[in-house]
Amino acid sequence: MASTNHDIITQLRQEILQLQGFRPPAPGAAVDLGLGPITDAFPNSVFPTGAMHELISPLRENAAATGGFMAGLVSALIVSGGVCVWVSAARQIYPPGLKAFGIEPDQVVFMDLRREKDVLRATEEALQCEGLAAVVGEIRDISFNDSRRLQLAVEQSRVTGFLLRHNPRYYQPVAAVARWHITHLPSEPDPGMPGLGHPRWNVELSRVRNGRPGNWQLEWQAGRFLCRPRQMPVEQENPHRLTG
Amino acid sequence: MGQRFLSLWFRHLLTDDAARRRPALLMAAFVLAAPDHGRMVVTAANYLAQAQGIQTGMVVADARVLLPGLEVLDDQPERAGQLLRAMALWCIRFTPVAAIDLPDGLILDISGCAQLWDGEAPYLAQIVATLRDNGPTVRSKGYDVRGAIADTIGAAWAVARYGRTTPIIEPGATIDALLPLPVPALRLDPGVTNRLARLGLYKVRHIAGMARQALRSRFGNDLLLRLDQAFGREAEVIEPVIPVVPYIERLPCLEPIVTATGISIALARLLEALCTRLQQDGKGLRAAVFKGYRLDGKVVQAGIGTHRATHHVPHLLKLFEDKIAMLEPDLGIDLFTLEAPTVDDVEARQPSIWSGTTGLQDPRLAELVDRVANRFGKGCIHRYLPAEHFWPERAFVPANSFDDLALTAWALTRPRPIHILATPESIEVAAPIPDYPPMHFRHQGQLRKVVRADGPERIEPEWWIDGARHRDYYAVEDESGVRYWIFRSGPYTGLPSSPWFLHGFFA
């Protein structure tokens, strides 16, 4: 009896998801981005491609971490020669730096516009274009209605869109499936090795449609994500010796 | 069907123009004059002045004797060329090939054009009437003009200026029409004309039958050439004011178009016709210019460019969408043309069964790029290729097109930041010993403590750049894990203000 109830509830949940506009990806079209346990936070345990993600970075330093994390996602999306369109008004990305995250920089088409308004328009145009692997739009602030337009474009074209919001003025919700916050974490070099370790981030999924928000620690290693077990922040021992 | 030419002769081109600009001159005798050898010489006289016996080439002082109230205006030497050019451009609505015939005429190649106006007589009548009409309408040009149509340029020229009977010489009737005309109708040098006149050879028929050898030895090759050109034995080319574009479509309108909807419909029809032609030839357009010829003689135009040759009508319509609003119809547009100045071969593409991503060759991507480039300017689209430079600012070059392939691989051996600052920002650094990573640095007033560091990576500028300093790059990480790309410019100096810079951020 209990199992029947469980089945019914699962089926009803699926129906609700479909009513809410969530479309399961076609069989075989699901892309494994290597996010490991983060994928479980999304409905059906599938990373929503063909949808819009919002990545927020309040500081310039966060923007770099966000860019790296997103580049890792995009690299999995454009595996087979796909093209990424990158729309921005004040681009800081260093094209050769994308190579470290598995993107061939010549597979990226940059559109550099002058005004925020133009970026929004061009992003919408790009999101309407089927056949692109991913579209990145660097938009600082976006109204709900504008984000809804982007979401509608994405639902039609099944292109994965990323909204990079650097230093936004408003944090009100927008029509994206997920809101990410990426921050740096101190890296740990391999034992006995000097220098820097692999890039490590704290990935916070603060808002996810029909899913469970959460917090994870990720490392970018050898061209793929590696999810680290959650660690309690340890009290740093004082590096200075007190004298006198 | 053979070629047909129309020659237009503006008898008082310069004076008519002056009168158009100053209508008060219409009722007065006046001349245009230019200085020549220290005296003023008449270069053009209007018909009232001519009626008093004033001719071009007269000295102004002599003319004043004939007509004391004569008004003298300054002649602008470039004016005739400018006027004729404007007139030739205006004539594009009647034929695509219009050429200037200095000093006072136009030559139009009207082969196959006249039938659109129900024959040559109404065609010529409309051109001449429109140019001659000095009424209150905007079409008025107010020029005293004569026109003639013939099989050859020479014959049309001669009949326009010296013809006495009919302005339209039927095909094949060239010889009969030319024979009774005076010798100057052959466009000869004045010296040759004078010598012929002294010998009593006044008419074309006097010389047409003479032995060629005799004519050549006495009057030079030029006379024979002009004779042959007039009779159609020698080809003559004209230089159109607008080079003829092979791919051009025209749409004359019965009524002038003033609405945006009307313009869109015209554009759609022209695109449809042009793209059908392009498709049959296996071509696609790379640039297109849509022109509207307005009633007031001005031309409004809008142009688009594409990144890849295409003959896809809906896409091209979309590109023009924003531009139509910028065309001002004013009183109306009565002729539309659409031309494709640059065309390219279109590679036939095999449609794929499943719609996967096809990368940079995807026509949908090309269409997207066209739309964005046409709306926001061509310079906004960038794609980069690797370059063989270690200097970070020169490690990549912009690609010219989407077909360019990377000639070298993107370097992965050295750490490169994901974000870079357009200009490196100055930082204050404390380093324990020379060529060691810094312990901490101050950037924009904030102290960052360096916990881990990699480096240095020395990047030398190219040897041919004089006086440039090398850079020692370090990748450093602070306590919170933020990673910076910093460098020292030049060698260690030991000075407190050693030139350190922050250049980028690692992910």
- State the pLDDT confidence band at A189, using cuts at 50, 70 and 90: confident
This prediction has a pTM of 0.67
Using CB atoms within 10 Å of the CB of residue B456, give its burial: 0 to 12 exposed, 13 to 18 middle, 19+ buried. middle
Q: What residues of chain A lie within 8 A of the CB of B380, using their CB?
A: 111-113
C-alpha distances in Å from residue B289, one per residue of B247, B301, B304: 11, 7, 7
Residue among B321, B349, B368, B459 with most chain A CBs within 10 A, to mutate: B368
Q: If you average pLDDT over every residue of chain A, what do you get?
A: 84
Instruction: Answer whether A83 sits within 8 Å of B357, measured CB to CB.
Output: yes
Residue among A57, A92, A94, A236 with most chain B CBs within 10 A, to mutate: A94
Which residue has better confidence, B502 or B247?
B502
Q: What residues of chain A lie within 8 A of the CB of B416, using their CB?
A: 94, 96-97, 99-100
C-alpha distances in Å from residue A83, one per residue of A101, A136, A157: 15, 11, 14
- % residues pLDDT > 90 (chain A): 26
- Asked if the model's pLDDT at residue A135 lies above 90, the reply is yes
User: For residue A87, is it within any domain?
Assistant: yes
The answer to whether A108 and B383 have CB atoms below 8 angstroms apart is: yes
Say how many domains are in chain A: 1
- Asked if the model's pLDDT at residue A59 lies above 80, the reply is yes
The answer to whether B418 and A98 have CB atoms below 8 angstroms apart is: yes
Using CB atoms within 10 Å of the CB of residue B434, give its burial: 0 to 12 exposed, 13 to 18 middle, 19+ buried. exposed
Token duo for residue A135: 């579209």
Which residue has better confidence, A234 or B154?
B154
Give the structural domain span for A146. Answer: 50-188+198-228
- Asked if the model's pLDDT at residue A162 lies above 90, the reply is yes
Q: What residues of chain A lie within 8 A of the CB of B452, using their CB?
A: 187, 189, 195-197
Instruction: Answer whether B418 sits within 8 Å of A187, measured CB to CB.
Output: no
Which residue among A64, A105, A121 places its CB closest to the CB of B505? A64
Which residue has better confidence, B148 or B28?
B148
Q: What is the ipTM of this complex?
A: 0.84
pLDDT tens-digit readout, A112-125: 998 889 999 999 99
pLDDT tens-digit readout, B297-342: 788 888 888 888 888 888 888 888 888 888 888 888 888 989 888 8
- Asked if the model's pLDDT at residue B382 lies above 80, the reply is yes
Instruction: Answer whether A100 sits within 8 Å of B415, measured CB to CB.
Output: yes
Instruction: Answer whether B365 sits within 8 Å of A96, measured CB to CB.
Output: no
Q: What residues of chain A lie within 8 A of the CB of B370, using their CB?
A: none
CATH number, residue A110? 3.40.50.300
For B440-447, the CB contacts below 8 A with 24+ separation are B441/B476, B441/B486, B441/B500, B441/B502, B443/B502
Calpha distance A70→A136 (Å, rounded): 9
User: For residue A135, is it within any domain?
Assistant: yes
- State the pLDDT confidence band at B30, using cuts at 50, 70 and 90: confident
User: For residue A81, is it within any domain?
Assistant: yes
Mean pLDDT of A138-142: 90
Question: Residue A27's pLDDT is what?
Answer: 54
- Asked if the model's pLDDT at residue A195 lies above 60, the reply is yes
pLDDT tens-digit readout, A208-219: 888 888 888 988
CA angle B180, B185, B191 (to 5 degrees): 120
User: For residue A14, is it within any domain?
Assistant: no
User: For residue A13, is it within any domain?
Assistant: no
Calpha distance A221→A200 (Å, rounded): 9
Q: What residues of chain B lie within 8 A of the CB of A84, using their CB?
A: none
Instruction: Answer whether B507 sits within 8 Å of A199, measured CB to CB.
Output: yes
Calpha distance B333→B336 (Å, rounded): 7
Mean pLDDT of B428-456: 85
- Residue ranges of domains in chain B, CATH in brackets: 1-244 (3.30.70.270), 248-355 (3.30.1490.100), 419-506 (no CATH)
- The full 3-state SS of A146-180, as one line of letters, equals HHHHHHHHHHHHCCEEEEEEECCCCCCCCCCCEEE
Q: What residues of chain A lie within 8 A of the CB of B417, using their CB?
A: 64, 94, 97
A99 min Cα distance to partner chain B (Å): 7
- State the pLDDT confidence band at B497, using cuts at 50, 70 and 90: low
For chains A and B, CB pairs below 8 A equal 182
The CA radius of gyration of chain A, in Å to the nearest whole number, is: 20
C-alpha distances in Å from residue A48, one per residue of A26, A40, A76, A180, A217: 12, 11, 13, 13, 20
User: For residue A45, is it within any domain?
Assistant: no
Q: Could you count the other beta carbons within 10 Å of the beta carbon of residue B365?
A: 25
Mean pLDDT of B82-105: 84
- State the pLDDT confidence band at B353, using cuts at 50, 70 and 90: low
Amino acid at B390: F
Question: Residue A231's pLDDT is what?
Answer: 56
C-alpha distances in Å from residue A191, one per residue of A198, A220, A235, B21, B480: 12, 17, 20, 91, 20
B368 min Cα distance to partner chain A (Å): 7
A10 min Cα distance to partner chain B (Å): 32
Question: In terms of CA atoms, which chain B residue is nearest residue A82?
Answer: B359
Amino acid at B71: E
User: For residue A40, is it within any domain?
Assistant: no
Mean pLDDT of B436-456: 87
Residue indicated by tokens 């688009």: B304
Using CB atoms within 10 Å of the CB of residue B326, give its burial: 0 to 12 exposed, 13 to 18 middle, 19+ buried. exposed
User: For residue A20, is it within any domain?
Assistant: no
- State the pLDDT confidence band at B498, using cuts at 50, 70 and 90: low
Q: What residues of chain B lie within 8 A of the CB of A104, using their CB?
A: 406, 410
Which segment of A141-155, B343-357, B471-485 scores lowest on mean pLDDT? Answer: B343-357
Tell me the sheet residues that pair with B303. Answer: B289
Instruction: Answer whether A130 sits within 8 Å of B396, measured CB to CB.
Output: no
The string of DSSP codes covering B6-23 is: EEEEETTHHHHHHHHH-G
